[in-house]
Amino acid sequence: MRELNIAVVQMAPELAKMEANLGRMADWIQKIATTEPVDIIVFPELSITGYEGGQRFAQMAQRVPGAVTNILGQHANEFGIYVLIGMAVKEDVETVLYNSGVLIAPDGSPAAEYRKIHLQAEERLVFRPGYRIKPVETEVGVVGIMLGWDLSFPEVARSLVMGGAEVLLVPAAWEAQNADIWRTLLVARAYENDVFIAAANRLGEEPSYTFAGQSAILSPGGEVMAALEEPEEGYVVVRLDLDEVRRRREESQIILARQPGAYRAIVRKY
């Protein structure tokens, strides 16, 4: 049996208070890692900065590797775990910014960065869309990273799964008014891909947004294994049997029954 212990953290980052958010994330890492066996901890989208940063992202964005990954990397290294954080990332050109998910390895170094592909209206004013969908091979299994609204686009999850992902990690900042859609899409993406999903959605309010929470871990087939249903901060940890992915796919035949030759219209822009 190949086992993976995964945690999702439901928190309410404070807008533009990066030092405070970093400190709270470090506290969550310590609390979880000293309480239960854990291999990966997943934090929400833009958990370092808050979501509605607007033009302030130009000052808040960080390089990878950089100060933020170094600080949280020390905590990942202390406990020998992977930590996935949501942050604004900048290139060498200061004005090129991305809404990213950065996976920090147990040795404290960045193991992977995923740049959000599907940006909503406000995000498009600040960030550039990513373009690369690539699973990450870790010591504890093959994972795929997607962010927030990416969940609405089945192509992202399917591409990660076809690349070998056994678990999809989903940092998110999904609004409360769309909480029902959030839960439905999580079930759909898990079921249609026979893949585990660990989704960390943020809480709290910002000037134009109220966020849903409803963080959850789902099994292949779409069953909810654990969830944070109350609008309060917290975390859940679940032990995943990664061999269940193969068993489920052999039983359901969903991946095997695909007919890619019939799907050519999917890659057309309009």
Q: What is the DSSP letter of 181?
A: H
Return the pLDDT at 95: 86
pLDDT of 224: 98
Angle at 188 between CA 141 and CA 117, to 5 degrees: 70
**3-267 under CATH 3.30.365.10, yes or no:** no
**Domain ranges (residues) in the chain:** 3-267
Q: pLDDT below 70 — which residues of the chain?
A: none
Angle 270-160-130 (CA atoms, 0-180°, nearest 5)? 60
The C-alpha atoms of residue 18 and residue 15 are separated, in whole angstroms, by: 8
Cα–Cα dist 254/154, whole Å: 14
Which pLDDT score, from 0 to 100, does residue 92 have?
80
Query: What pLDDT, on a 0 to 100 scale, did the predictor assign at position 157?
Result: 98
Residue 104, pLDDT score: 98
236 phi, psi to nearest 5 deg: -130, 150
Token output for 122: 């406000």
| The pLDDT of residue 146 | 98
pLDDT at 267: 81
pTM over cut 0.85: yes
* CA–CA separation, 22 and 192 (whole Å): 35
With helix as H, strand as E and coil as C, how does 20-87 read? HHHHHHHHHHHHHHHHCCCCEEECCCCCCCCCCCHHHHHHHCECCCCHHHHHHHHHHHHHCCEEEEEE
